[in-house]
Amino acid sequence: AVSALALLPLVGSFSLPSLAPRGQRHRCKPVRPLNLQIGDVDVPHARDSLYAKTLEGVSWPSEWPYSEQELRPMDSSPDGFFYVIPKFVHHASEECRRSLADYYQCVLPASGTGSVLDLCSSWTSHYPEGWRGGRCVALGLNPLELMANPSKTEWTLQDLNQRPVLEEPDASFDVVTCSLSVDYLRRPLEVMTEVHRVLKPGGLACMAFTNRCFPTKVVPIWLNPFEDRSHIRIVGEYFHFSADWEDISVADVTPSARQQQQDPMYIVQARKRS
């Protein structure tokens, strides 16, 4: 059942209920020392949960399961109209944002090194405080938000739903991230194919999401059913059907003190095969 509280707006969005490249790892801050390994990445604060096991032994469909209509949101107007006014707000709880930053501490190159692309970026990439890449490209929809992003070294204005081709050479990045926006991609296969192309061999792609969304802009498959394991499987299918990925896996970094109305936080990640 959907609670009335979960349908209320919170900090600008709506809520409905419910890796560093090989050889470049560095110590990440332990939050809950379970010493879990997600794929080939050590994520000490990840939870050994039912959600984290969603893709273990998964049987993928024989062909791409989603139609164009199933990827068309209720409001299919250009996203540039929706985001023309800057939204300097958070779309997840403080605890979840901190947990996501701790995850990124585990997978990003050491500050000042490496190359990172943040898709669907804004005024924050949810990276650890003070982190800055050797090259960090923030790609998003609002120039004022992107200019305010403290992690970026450069920014690009692009609507991936209108133009899913990335203007970057092959094998350009060590890590590609997408925080709290994978559920808005209307052309996910094209985007994920491009992510694979611009990653270096062995590079890592990380798709992070919670259970908050703008219901009129999210793709319909995300809403029906609106369930965490379904969302994890959908993102796993985006990886599986788009390119030659390995180690498609799930990190459940939901804060350990989660209350009934507090957000979960999941990352589906995979490596470009070397």
pLDDT at 257: 59
* pLDDT of 250 higher than 60: yes
Quote the CA–CA distance of 256 and 254 in Å, as a whole number: 6
Specify the CATH number for the domain of residue 31.
Answer: 3.40.50.150
Average pLDDT, the chain: 87
Per-residue pLDDT, 114: 96
Backbone angles phi, psi at 82, to 5 degrees: -65, -35
Q: Determine the pLDDT at residue 84.
A: 79
* pLDDT tier for residue 85 given thresholds of 50, 70 and 90: confident
The pLDDT tens digits of the residues spanning 108-152 come to 999 999 999 999 999 999 999 999 989 999 999 999 999 999 999
| Segment 77-83 mean pLDDT | 83
Tens digits of per-residue pLDDT, 32-65? 435 578 888 999 999 999 999 999 999 999 999 9
Kindly report, residue by residue over 171-213, the tens digit of the pLDDT.
999 999 999 999 999 999 999 999 999 999 999 999 999 998 9
Q: What percent of the chain has pLDDT over 90?
A: 75
Range of the domain at 34: 5-272
* Six-digit token string for 146: 């992107």
| Nearest in space to 55 (alpha carbons), one of 252, 236, 222, 230 | 236
Provide the β-strand partners of residue 10.
13
Query: Does residue 112 contact residue 26 with C-beta atoms inside 8 Å?
Result: no
- Taking the chain, what is the end-to-end CA distance rounded to the nearest angstrom? 45
Quote the tokens at residue 186.
């209307």
CA distance 125 to 140: 11
The residue assigned the tokens 């500050």 is 111
Confidence of residue 263 (pLDDT cuts 50, 70, 90): confident
* pLDDT tens per residue, range 143-169: 999 999 999 999 999 999 999 999 999
What average pLDDT does this structure show over 71-93? 84
138 φ, ψ (degrees, to nearest 5)? -100, 115
Number of domains in the chain: 1
The whole-model pTM stands at 0.86
pLDDT at position 29 = 43
The mean-pLDDT minimum among 9-18, 34-43, 71-80, 233-242 falls in: 9-18
The span from the CA of 162 to the CA of 83, in Å, is 14
Q: Shortest CA distance to 144 belongs to which of 134, 155, 132?
A: 155
Confidence label for 227 from pLDDT (cuts 50, 70 and 90) = very high
- Residue 81: other Cβ atoms inside 10 A: 10
Higher-pLDDT residue of 201 and 91 is: 201
Is the pLDDT at 4 greater than 80? The verdict is no
Which among 179, 220, 210 is positioned nearest to 14, based on CA atoms? 210
Looking at residue 82, its pLDDT comes to 80
